[in-house]
Each structure stands twice: as structure tokens, then as C-alpha cells.
Amino acid sequence: NLLFRNLKQSEGQYRDLYEEAPNAYLSIGVDGHIRRANRYAVELFGYPLDELVGRLVFDLYADTLAGERKARQVFEQFLTGQEIHGEELEMLRADGSQVWVSLSMRPILDSEGRVVFGRSQIVDIEKNKDSGKQLANRPMDVISEYIGYLRDSLARRGYITVNRTKGYQLTSMGRRTLMEFLKENEARAKDTISKLNQVRVKYGQEMDRLRKEQLRSSRETKRSLLTLFAKKQHMGRN
């Protein structure tokens, strides 16, 4: 009985710590649905608890490179049993406003080593750090995320490989694709230059024609004025 009471007391203390923690905590199933959320998660995202639990976690991410797209990549890592530490992501509140968070996630395994669910800790960056500095760095973060997304996409398609000493290297398929791309764009560039030259020639010809017409018109005007002046002088003498 004493052991049972101690276990119940420990469980109650853990529940209090979970519920009253200053950061958001979510328990996520391998299907991506939220199983459990603490009080701060309710406050952070602005959903009632009964609307938060059971919701697909990806619904809480912004439709950006650093939002849902990155969240799905992180979730794939979690499903393999990897722990996630300090991933910066862009999430959405119920009112549609965006919030930048730092996500850490620990997979919980069964007796056979399979992931059954994950415990996520979500820290509101803009609340816990200097928001001015974070917002100033945000464009670079987005660029970095985009570069990472392109790099991962190229690696998945077999265009590049990862080498720990030499970094990322083109595969034979990557080199072939790059050469085809360069050849295709070289042909397009030559075609564009040719068209520009044609336009330049036509423009030059048109300008020459206009200058000649202007000169001819000027000469005709001058001739007309001289003729008119001569007639006036002749009439004056008579």
C-alpha cells in the first residue's frame, strides 16, 4: 500500500510539472495526431484542449519552408527513432498569427525498439529571447532553411551525395543533369542574344530612316522658306 501511494504521489507530481510547465508540451502519435497537451500549449496555440487533442500536428504549422515543410522532415527523422533538439520552426495560432518556436522531441519506444509516440517540448522563441534580434535574423533563417530544403531535395533525387570530408558532391546523374541544364540554357541564351541583335539592327535601321526623313524635311522646309523670302523680295521691288 505504501509503494502504491508513493507511485500515485510521484505520478501526481509528474502530472503537475507537466501541466504547469512554462513551455508547451505535446504528446504526438506516430500517425501525427496530438494525444496530449499541457496548459501552456493551450495558451500558446489558442485552441481549447478538446480541439487541440486529436488534431493533426501539422495543422499547427505555417505554410512556409520553415513551417509545415520542415516539420514533416523533422517528423520523418523522429519516426526513425532520432531525438530532435532545438529545431526552429514557424507555427500558427488559432487566430492565424505566426509564432517562431524551438522544437525538441524525444521518441518513446516499445519493448521491441519501435517508436510508439513522441514527447515534444515547444519553446516560444519570441517570448524567451530578444524579439528584435530574432526578427532581424529571421530573413537569414528563412534563406538558410530554403538552402537546406534544396540540398535535401537534391540528395533525395540522387543528384548529390554527402561526404564528411569534402561536403556535398555531384553524382554522375547530377553532373549529367547539370550539363544538360547548362546546354539547354546556353542555347536559350544564344537565341535571346540573336533576337536582341535583330532588334538592335532593326532599331538602328529605323533610327537611320527617321534621321533621313528629318533631314529631308528640314531641307524642304529651308527651301520653302528661301523661296517664300525670294518671292517677297521680288514683289517688294515691283
H helices of 58-119, where? Answer: 70-79
Q: What is the pLDDT of residue 144?
A: 54
Local mean pLDDT, 10-residue blocks, the chain (238 residues): 44 49 86 92 93 95 91 93 90 92 89 88 74 50 55 67 61 71 67 72 73 72 68 64
Q: Taking the CA atoms of the chain, what radius of gyration do you get in angstroms?
A: 36
Q: Quote the cell numbers at residue 36.
A: 496530449
Q: What is the pLDDT of residue 8?
A: 45
Q: What is the pLDDT of residue 32?
A: 95
What distance in Å separates the CA atoms of residue 23 and residue 102, rounded to the nearest whole number?
10
Q: Where are the domains of the chain?
A: 12-156, 171-238
CATH class of the domain at 12-156: alpha beta
Q: What is the pLDDT of residue 228?
A: 67
Q: What is the pLDDT of residue 141?
A: 52
Q: What is the pLDDT of residue 154?
A: 66
SS3 112: coil
Task: Please enumerate, as own/partner, the contacts of 197-200 that have beta carbons within 8 Å and a separation of 24 or more.
Answer: none
For residue 36, list its beta bridge partners: 27
Q: What is the pLDDT of residue 113?
A: 85
Question: Is the CB of residue 44 less than 8 Å from the CB of residue 121?
Answer: no
Instruction: Give the number of other CB atoms < 10 A from CB of residue 202.
Output: 10
What distance in Å separates the CA atoms of residue 224 and residue 118, rounded to the nearest whole number?
96
SS3 154: helix
Q: What is the pLDDT of residue 68?
A: 93
